[in-house]
Amino acid sequence: MTGRTEVIAGIIAGIIAGFFGIVGVWYQHYLENPEPEKTTVTETAKPTETGKNTPQLEKLLKRAEKGNAVAQFKLGVLYTKGEEVERDLTQAADWYRKAAEQGHKNAQFKLGRFYEKAKGVEADLTQAEHWYQKAAEQGHKKAQKSLELLSKQ
């Protein structure tokens, strides 16, 4: 029995040593090469000087053109802020509309705000109310407040 116990103990010790060896190698690699912080496109976006699209923007454009509402909304934000693309409120409104028509509540709110404030579109309080209502029905608090304020005008 002692022979078996020693063999089993040796196997277990080998497994544990191997495990700690792997962990040690990984930890050393991690110390030398830490992972970069994860950020979103809008956090890393810089106004373009060259007029060339970044790889991140290219991916976003492809997803948006395929009908991805989140990508369409993000493009609206980029065009609104002038990040990675030249600021263009008409383009922003177009991207917000595409996302809003698919039910993206933040895009619906932004589009309503654009119609209310005449940003990238002509002022149209009926359209503003329409898009605020759509967003409010999905629980968007700012849209609900905007509807209240519109009704008092």
Same domain as 17, residue 49 = no
Nearest CA to 54 among 77, 85, 82? 85
* Domain co-membership, 19 together with 59: no
Q: d(Cα 72, Cα 137) in Å, to the nearest integer?
A: 21
51 with 112, same domain: the answer is yes
81 and 132 together in one domain: yes
Residues 45 and 97 in one domain: yes
Same domain, 109 and 142: yes
Do 4 and 46 belong to one domain? no
More confident residue, 126 or 24: 126
| The residue to which tokens 């029995």 are assigned | 1
Q: 70-121, pLDDT tens digit by residue? A: 999 999 999 999 998 999 999 999 999 999 999 999 999 999 999 999 999 9
Same domain, 16 and 82: no
Q: Which residue has the higher pLDDT, 43 or 142?
A: 142
- Residue 27's pLDDT band, with cuts at 50, 70 and 90, is low
Residue 67 structural domain: 41-151
Indicate the DSSP class of residue 66: T
The predicted pLDDT at position 6 comes to 80
Q: Which CATH number does the domain housing residue 56 bear?
A: 1.25.40.10
Residues 89 and 20 in one domain: no
pLDDT recorded at residue 76 = 97
Q: State whether 19 and 62 are in the same domain.
A: no
pLDDT given for residue 65 in this prediction: 95
Higher-confidence position of 100 and 5: 100
Which amino acid makes up residue 20?
F
- Whether residue 61 is predicted with pLDDT greater than 50 in this model: the reply is yes
Query: How many domains does the chain contain in total?
Result: 2
Residues 81 and 105 in one domain: yes
